[in-house]
Chains A and B, each alone.
Chain A
Amino acid sequence: MSGKRRDFLKNIVRGGALAGIAGICAALGMRKNKYQCNGQCGDCKPDSSAECPMGGDGYVWQIDPEKCTQCGRCATHCVLAISAVKCVHSYSMCGYCDLCGGYQRSDAKGRTTGAENQLCPTAAIRRKFIEDPYYQYTIDEDLCVGCGLCVKGCEMFGNGSLYLQVKHDLCVNCNECAIAAACPSGAFRRVPASDPYLLKGGSANA
């Protein structure tokens, strides 16, 4: 009797595990297939009569930089393991300052590129000397988690050239964006997929 029960349980565990894995994969796949859109196919452009092949409504999520308060929820609420929200940089607005509020900690021991001086916890901002006293700052998107810490420093002391945007090569464009639902300032909104970024300072962005 106990041998039959053991066999029965074994079969159930195997079958259940397979069913569970298949269900999770199907759910993830369905969501990705259903909502992923980065506006690159062009079918949503005003001069196109074609319907969206992804079944989308021709709109994607984006952050209005003027409303963003850098609360940090972009880093914690995205359904992706590492958020699709990244910091971008408007070179045309940047002051290229040596003492950069977006790059350096307020209690930095020096103005070198040492980790102890950097404000970004993931070291996602790269600094390059141009000419005294100018430095160029670029974002390493692979390291950026979209926390907005640098944006806060730049807004407070600089020209606001660092800001957050949803990157559409990463975003899966969920129908109910988890970050939008959690955003305390209403900075998330739907924008046409044919014009998916809300850029500061024209197009001169990283």
Chain B
Amino acid sequence: MTAPAIECEGLGRSYRQRTLTGGGKETVALADLSLRIEPGTVFGLLGPNGAGKTTTVRILSTLLTPTSGAACVLGHDVVREAAKVRRDIGLVLGGDRGLYGRLSGYDNLRYFAALNHLPPAMARQRIDTVLGMVGMADRAGTLVEQYSRGMKQRLHIARGLLTDPQVIFLDEPTIGIDPVGAQELRDLVPQLTAQGKTVLLTTHYMFEADQLCDTVAIIDKGRLVALGAPRDIRQRFSRVGVIELTLSAPRRGLADELRRLQGVERVTASADGPFERLTVYTPPDAAFAGCVRAAAGETGVVSVVAREPTLEEAYISLLR
């Protein structure tokens, strides 16, 4: 059994807010989180805003101390051996901040290389490599304050990869990036794991987690609510059945008629070229396809398919 890249045991973080009267209110950001992340894998941390995803990343990257439990990265305790942890990790925090706007992209990377003790020659080589990896080589000389949000995000990722770290924390890395750019960055992740690196990814995009992650953990209000491979999560934790009805043309009133069927939880309508697609959500394992077909009749029905819920649908049903 190989040693885990990241391991948490009963990890917790709470904040105490003092009041003027001397009392205090405790807010729990993370409670009793236990995880084991194998080397060379992509681990997704999913959850709504305030669930504790970023708190987890901050604890593991030594920026925040836990108030209970323990965590190790590459065998080093994140509190007692923080300096050793910092040498081996790359941290990518999402958003517009975290760069010097008055410096060029190249100079930003040169600064962060210096912070991490890269010798000048190696720094130049790594900067060229990571700029190429994120498709920013031709804009490296431009001041960061002139970058779009997507370009800043790419530079953040380049910075996170600069030291060739063994463990990479990606906190919502594709947020704000155009779809093509986001996909290019997603394509980077398998390249990293192919080099034996471990990636901890937080994201709101379920398809991203589905596409990239070997294992996902869903946390809510600081607590772990589901853990497993995306496929397992879809199957084990989904509390919905999904039936997709495709019509050759929109049909007024049919969605309302389906909503009235007993047991149907909700119905969404979307256009798919000339077709209309009605997605009917039902309790799991319920044999609703026949009812839906009967309600729709034969005319104009292209297909009625019962399909496995997506990770997003499983996620929503789990957190509702």
Chain A partners chain B: no
Interface residues in chain B, defined as those with a beta carbon under 8 Å from any beta carbon in chain A: none
